[in-house]
Chains A and B, each alone.
Chain A
Amino acid sequence: MKTNSRTPEDKQAGRRLFIGGLLSSALLAVGVRSEARLLSSPVTTNRLRPPGAVTENIFLGTCIRCGRCVEVCPYHCIIPLDSRHGVHAGTPLIFAETIPCYLCMKCVEVCPTGTLRPVKQEATRMGLAVVNRHLCYTWQSQTLCRTCYNICPFTDKAIRLDELRPVVNEKECTGCGICVHACPITAEDGSKAINIEPLYSRVQMS
């Protein structure tokens, strides 16, 4: 019996070592995870920069976190990120499923640094709406829902109906996220049956 031959002090030291190791590895994991978060861009599915934004690689450099786009937005859809986002803290982000961008283009007019460049409403490319055909009731032939089609500000242009099913036109979609906000279906991970993918955030479009 090896374990019994050890003194209680030994046991205690071993336990202490084990707990210490567990704690430090947990801390390390948190550290690595948070470090990845501190440097990585917050722009992902349904997490969009305001209209006319410069590319993601220089966004954090040009934006001076003055918050004027946040203040001017009449729909309060632009959120300044908090300090947990590291180098991106203070930069504006739109949470499309909570409040989408209604393309009033006021933020673009007040940005003093050119981080949000003057852009026309229909020329805005915040991302591209993508229908998840495995989730969408209409595509699954469960009901005839056409909420996204009805709500889209560019009716019959950005979203049209193909045999009563919604189809996104890549040429016209501005990525405003109004369809995402309206979509009645929410998956387990919080995504909708139609989502905005920020396809254009890496390369300057206009």
Chain B
Amino acid sequence: MSEAKERQHIRRWRLLVQSGALLLIVIAPFLNFYFSIDFVQGWYQSLGIGKLWFVSPLEGLESILVAKRLYLPLLTAMVVPVLLALFLGRVFCGWICPIHFLSDLSDRFLKLFSRKKLRKDHFLLPKTIIWYVLLAELLLTMILGAPLFVFLSPPGLVGREMMMVVFFKTLTLEGLIVVAVLIANFVTRRFFCRYFCPLGGLLAFLGSKRKLRVARDEESCTECGMCARACPLGLNPAIGEAESNYCWNCGECVEYCRESSLTLTWVQGSSKR
């Protein structure tokens, strides 16, 4: 029992992982440009660490759909991110994506100066929009014959802007998308991530049978509603929404739960939802 009650210090771990992930794409351009150390190249569209390559599933899928040809290194580079999404869900969004990290940081920063403990969401849309966005994105890509998200994805843009600053000493116009996405946080937390990120949609779709879930201990839960207020995606774990596809396993609710009745756990066997 005492084991279950032990606090999972998820926020601390998440901060560590997120800072490491951001640091990687911030430092890589400097190493490449000034020292010609090309061990790490790219960012979260495609990241190369030595011979280990990763390609974001949506970008890879778009490339395959448009070009109608398979390329083995591309497929192998997509294996790890896809497996990650299959077993752990949208953890890329919650734990790695620089957009969520920057939003997270600004949340933490603003909390220092405001009396309100948590930011509120002012404008809500149906959560199912994200599936239509994903479909529309893929259809539009195939109609245009040119992938869209590869150039305009906010997480990718953070990396590209970093590279542009180091390599060409300039920022680009499309970088405003990142600014817009961050500003939208003031209306609704993670407004873009919730409804309009096709990559998030694809990862959520892949993670529908995920093993890592936020589990609720029904006995100790007092339904205080703290978790629902803490969730950056506006989900309510107390009514089982953490089991839904939309949850990105960031563990914010686990951290805020006063009774420690929420835990990030590895679910054995198939889950109901």
Q: Chain B at the A interface: mostly helix, strand, loop or mixed?
A: helix
> Which residue in B56, B150, B151, B163 is a CB contact (below 8 Å) of A71?
B163
Contact A83 B48 (CB under 8 A): no
Q: What total of A-B pairs shows CB separation below 8 Å?
A: 110
The interface residues of chain A lying within 8 Å CB-to-CB of B249 are none
Contact A87 B71 (CB under 8 A): no
- Chain B 150-198 interface residues, beta-carbon cutoff 8 Å to A: 150-151, 156, 159-160, 163-164, 167-168, 172-174
Give bound CA distance, A61 to B144, whole Å. 10
> Which residue in B32, B55, B69, B174 is a CB contact (below 8 Å) of A83?
B174
Instruction: Output the least CB separation between B138 and chain A (Å).
Output: 13
Instruction: Output the least CB separation between B143 and chain A (Å).
Output: 12
Contact B42 A67 (CB under 8 A): yes
The interface residues of chain A lying within 8 Å CB-to-CB of B38 are 71-72, 74, 106, 110
Contact B67 A110 (CB under 8 A): no
Give bound CA distance, A58 to B38, whole Å. 27
| B74 proximal to A (CB < 8 A) | yes
The interface residues of chain B lying within 8 Å CB-to-CB of A67 are 41-43, 45, 159-160, 163
| B270 proximal to A (CB < 8 A) | no
Contact A112 B146 (CB under 8 A): no
Contact A70 B163 (CB under 8 A): yes
Contact B167 A76 (CB under 8 A): yes
| A144 proximal to B (CB < 8 A) | no
The interface residues of chain B lying within 8 Å CB-to-CB of A64 are 45-46, 55-56, 59-60, 62-63, 147, 150
On whether A66 and B43 interact (CB within 8 A), knowing A82-B172, A112-B77, the answer reads yes
On whether A66 and B167 interact (CB within 8 A), knowing A61-B145, A82-B172, the answer reads no
| A89 proximal to B (CB < 8 A) | yes
Give the total of B residues in contact with A, Cβ under 8 Å.
42
| B33 proximal to A (CB < 8 A) | yes
Give bound CA distance, A114 to B71, whole Å. 6
The interface residues of chain A lying within 8 Å CB-to-CB of B159 are 67
- Chain A 29-64 interface residues, beta-carbon cutoff 8 Å to B: 54, 58, 60-64
| A65 proximal to B (CB < 8 A) | yes
The interface residues of chain B lying within 8 Å CB-to-CB of A70 are 163, 167
Contact B45 A65 (CB under 8 A): yes
Contact B63 A82 (CB under 8 A): no
Contact B146 A62 (CB under 8 A): no
| A153 proximal to B (CB < 8 A) | no
| A90 proximal to B (CB < 8 A) | yes
Contact A65 B63 (CB under 8 A): no
Give bound CA distance, A41 to B174, whole Å. 20
Give bound CA distance, A64 to B150, whole Å. 5
Give bound CA distance, A64 to B64, whole Å. 10
The interface residues of chain A lying within 8 Å CB-to-CB of B146 are 60-61, 87
Contact B71 A90 (CB under 8 A): no
Contact A87 B144 (CB under 8 A): yes
Give bound CA distance, A68 to B73, whole Å. 15
Give bound CA distance, A106 to B48, whole Å. 13
Contact B160 A80 (CB under 8 A): yes
The interface residues of chain B lying within 8 Å CB-to-CB of A63 are 63, 150
The interface residues of chain A lying within 8 Å CB-to-CB of B251 are none
The residue of chain B having its C-beta at the shortest distance from the C-beta of A59 within the complex is B67
| B268 proximal to A (CB < 8 A) | no
| A206 proximal to B (CB < 8 A) | no
Contact A65 B28 (CB under 8 A): no
Instruction: Output the least CB separation between B166 and chain A (Å).
Output: 9
Give bound CA distance, A60 to B67, whole Å. 9
The interface residues of chain A lying within 8 Å CB-to-CB of B114 are none
| B221 proximal to A (CB < 8 A) | no
Q: A61-B145, A72-B41, A83-B174 are in contact. List 18 more A-B contacts (CB 8 A).
A: A54-B67, A60-B147, A63-B63, A64-B55, A66-B156, A67-B45, A68-B48, A70-B167, A71-B42, A74-B38, A76-B33, A80-B164, A106-B38, A110-B48, A112-B48, A113-B55, A113-B60, A113-B63
A: residues with CB less than 8 A from B are 54, 58, 60-68, 70-72, 74, 76, 79-80, 82-83, 87, 89-90, 106, 110, 112-114
By Cβ-Cβ distance, the 3 closest A-B pairs, closest first, are A61-B66, A114-B71, A66-B46
Q: List 19 A-B contacts (CB under 8 A).
A: A54-B67, A58-B67, A61-B146, A66-B150, A67-B43, A67-B159, A70-B167, A71-B28, A72-B32, A74-B38, A76-B33, A110-B38, A110-B41, A110-B42, A110-B48, A112-B73, A112-B74, A113-B74, A114-B71
